[in-house]
Amino acid sequence: MDKLTKLTDQQKKEVSGNISAAIDKLKNFQMPSGAFTYWPGGDYDTWGTNYAGHFLLEAKALGYKVPDAMIDRFVKFQASQAKRWNPDTRGTQYSWTELDQSYRLYTLALAKKPETGAMNRMRELKNLSPESRWRLAAAYALMGKQEIGKELAQNLPVTAKAYDWWGYTYGSTLRDEAMILETQVLLGDMTAAAANLRHVAESLSNEQWYSTQTTAYALMAIGKFAGKSKVSDEFKFSYDLGDGKVVNAGSSTPVMQISVPLNGTEKTVTVKNSGAGVLFARLIVTGQPLVGDATATANNLKIEVNYLTPGGQKLNPAAIPQGTDFIAEVTVTHPGTRAYDLKEMALTQIFPSGWEIINARLHNMAEFSNTNVPEYQDIRDDRVLTYFDIARSARQVYRVRLNAAYQGRYYLPTVGCEAMYDDTISASKAGMWVEVVNGKNGVFDGPNLKKKAPREIKSYWLYSFETEISTVRSK
C-alpha cells in the first residue's frame, strides 16, 4: 500500500497489526502436513494452500515475523504435491488443476525453492491454458530465467477468459488479469504492463462487485508495478473544499487522499490539475445508515426466515417477552436457475443487542437434530455466520437458539445469504424494529392479556402464558 499512497503513522500501525494478526490466525488453518484448510478443522484445500502460503511469503519478504516452521512445512508440502501432479488429471483443456499446479510452482520459486523438474515437465505440455502459462512464466522469472518466461508468454492473450463459475480456484477474470500484470512486471515488460495496468485500475474503479481475493490481487499487482516504474513522479494539483480556501497540493505516490469534512450542508468540492499528466478525481463517501435495509431480494437463491417457539409454533418477533427462549430458522433453497451446485455460500444473521445467542453446540437441543450441518459456523456475541455448499434444487435449514434478554426497542438487521465469489447469487429478508417487553405487562397477567398485547402476537403470548402455567403446576 505504501507504494500507492502515503500512509499516516496510525495507518502504518493498523496495517502492521492486521498483517500480524492474519499470520497468527493462519496457524489455525495449517495442517501438520504443511497444507492449509479453507476453514479451521476442515480438509486440505489446494488453492487455499497456494494463496495462504503466497501471503506468508510476501509478508516475510517485507520484514514481518513469520514462523520458519510454517514456511518450511508449506514449502515441503508444495514440493511433494508438485512432483506428484499428474497432467492426465486435467481432463479438459482448461482444467483448474493446471492453474493450481502453475501457482504451486510459482510459490516454490518465490520461496527460492523452485521445483525445476516439475516446471520443465509442465512447460512441455501441449494445450496448456493461457492463464497457466502466464503463471508458469512468472515462476521462471522469479528464479532468474527471464528468457524462458518470455518465451512462455510470447503471443499469449492479456485478457483472461470469462468465468461462468468461480470454481475450485475461487477465481475471476480480473483476478487472472492481475496475475498477468504481475508476470509482465516480473518479466520487465513495462510497456505492455502499463497498458494492462490501465485496464486493471479501471476495472477496480467501476461499480462491479469483486471478491476480496480479486481486489487484493489487483492491488498487489498495481503496487508491484508502481515499485518498478516511474509512476512515482510527483503530480500537482490544487483543491477547494467549499470554504473558499484554495490549497496547492502534490504527491510522489500515485494516490493521494484528502479528508473532506461534512457538516450536514451541501458542499461543492473543486479540483484543478496543475501538472502535466492526467489526474483522476473521485469522491468517496462512507457512513452508517440510520435504519437498516428494508428490502427483500432473491437472485438465483431463495431464503425464508421464521421465528419459532421451542415447541415449533411460529411467533412474530415484533414484541417478545423478556426471558423467552425462541429460535431463528432460515431455510435456503437453490431454485435451480444455475445449472451447478453452489459452493461457499455465506449466511449472515446479525441479531438485536436485546437478544442473546444460545450456543446450541454446548447443549443437546432436540430442535437442532434435524437441521443441516454447515461446512463451518462462526458464533459471535451478536451474530452467527454460517458457511455451506448447497446442491442444485436442494433445500437446507439452519437454526439459531436465542433468548430475549434485555427490555427495549431494537433494530433487527437484514438476514442475507450470498455466494462468496459471485454477487449475482444472493437473497435477503428485510430488517425490522423489534421489542423485548416486560413479561408482567401484558404477557402473563391473565385478565389483562388481550387488552395489552398487540393483535399480531396475541396467539404467541397466549401460548407462552399457558406454557408458564403448565410449568408452575408441574413444579
Q: Which residue has the cell 450470498?
A: 418
| pLDDT value, residue 293 | 67
CA distance 344 to 38: 10
The grid cell for 126 is 501441449
The grid cell for 210 is 469483486
Q: Which residue has the cell 513469520?
A: 66
Q: Please give the C-alpha separations between residue 254 and each of 5, 92, 123, 235, 259, in angstroms, as whole numbers.
A: 6, 42, 37, 8, 17
Q: Choose among 28, 26, 31, 15: nearest CA to 52.
A: 26
Residue 30: beta bridge partners?
36
CA distance 266 to 256: 24
Instruction: Please answer whether residues 458 and 442 qualify as being in contact, where contact means their C-beta atoms are separated by less than 8 angstroms.
Output: no
The grid cell for 94 is 482448461
**DSSP per-residue string spanning 237-264:** EEEE-SSS-EEEEEESSSB--------S
The grid cell for 190 is 513495462
Does CATH place domain 9-228 in 1.10.510.10?
A: no
Instruction: Please answer whether residues 377 and 362 qualify as being in contact, where contact means their C-beta atoms are separated by less than 8 angstroms.
Output: no
CA distance 406 to 355: 7
Each residue's pLDDT expressed in tens, for the chain with a length of 475 residues = 888 888 999 999 999 999 999 999 999 999 999 999 999 889 999 999 999 999 999 999 999 999 999 999 999 999 999 999 988 776 555 578 999 999 999 999 999 999 999 999 999 998 899 999 999 999 999 999 999 999 999 999 999 988 888 889 999 999 999 999 999 999 999 999 999 999 999 999 888 899 999 999 999 999 999 888 765 567 899 999 988 899 999 888 888 989 888 877 788 899 999 988 888 888 888 877 666 667 899 999 999 999 999 989 999 999 999 999 999 999 999 999 999 999 999 999 999 999 999 987 666 666 566 688 999 999 999 999 999 999 999 999 999 999 999 999 999 999 999 999 999 999 999 999 999 999 764 443 333 333 344 443 433 344 344 444 434 443 3
| Phi, psi (degrees; rounded to nearest 5) at 49 | -65, -45
Write out the residue limits of the CATH 2.60.40.690 domain(s) in the chain. Answer: 297-474
Q: Count the Cβ atoms, other than its own, within 10 Å of residue 36.
A: 26
Write out the residue limits of the CATH 1.50.10.20 domain(s) in the chain. Answer: 9-228
The grid cell for 235 is 503530480
Instruction: Please answer whether residues 103 and 81 qualify as being in contact, where contact means their C-beta atoms are separated by less than 8 angstroms.
Output: no
Tell me the CATH class for 297-474.
Answer: mainly beta
First to last CA, the chain: 65
| pLDDT value, residue 369 | 63
Q: Choose among 66, 77, 76: nearest CA to 25.
A: 66
